[in-house]
């Protein structure tokens, strides 16, 4: 599959819009951009650099995502998640720490 995509991307770079191949390449390129834009809206990584027992996360995903929290040692940590809105959530822990929240 990767070889097919590579070949099409080469076609995009080497063709012009006046040929069928050029139109196909342009359409493919535009659709890949749409896919990239969509994929970018599917996940969010929050970094909590200042230790806190409550993390407020503004993710702007427009929904209530699943959440995985890891501390600074990359160990999974569990907390109480509250979905404030479709674009914000809070996670409460028993102690303050820093780390990352992976939302998807």
Please tell me the predicted confidence (pLDDT) of residue 27. Answer: 74
What are the two backbone dihedrals, phi and then psi, of residue 94, each rounded to the nearest 5 degrees? Answer: -80, -15
Which tokens belong to 66? 């699943």
Please tell me the predicted confidence (pLDDT) of residue 80. Answer: 98
**Residues in the chain, total:** 104
Where are the extended beta strands (E) located within 44-87?
44-58, 67-71, 76-77, 80-85
Which tokens belong to 53? 């027992």
- The answer to whether the pTM exceeds 0.75 is no
Whether the CB-CB separation of 15 and 27 falls below 8 Å is answered with no
Please tell me the predicted confidence (pLDDT) of residue 47. Answer: 96
Please tell me the predicted confidence (pLDDT) of residue 9. Answer: 64
Which tokens belong to 35? 């896919």
Please tell me the predicted confidence (pLDDT) of residue 42. Answer: 80
Tell me the average confidence (pLDDT) per consecutive run of 10 residues in the chain, 104 residues long.
Answer: 59 58 70 65 90 97 94 96 97 97 93
């Amino acid at each position: 599959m990767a070889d097919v995509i590579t070949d099409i991307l080469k076609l995009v770079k080497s063709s012009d819009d006046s040929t069928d191949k050029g139109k196909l390449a342009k359409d493919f390129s535009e659709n890949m951009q749409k896919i990239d834009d969509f994929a970018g809206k599917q996940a969010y990584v929050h970094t909590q650099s200042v230790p806190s027992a409550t993390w407020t996360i503004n993710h702007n995903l427009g929904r209530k995502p699943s959440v995985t929290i890891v501390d600074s040692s990359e160990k999974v940590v569990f907390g109480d998640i509250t979905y404030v809105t479709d674009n914000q959530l809070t996670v409460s822990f028993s102690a303050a720490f820093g780390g990352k929240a992976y939302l998807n």
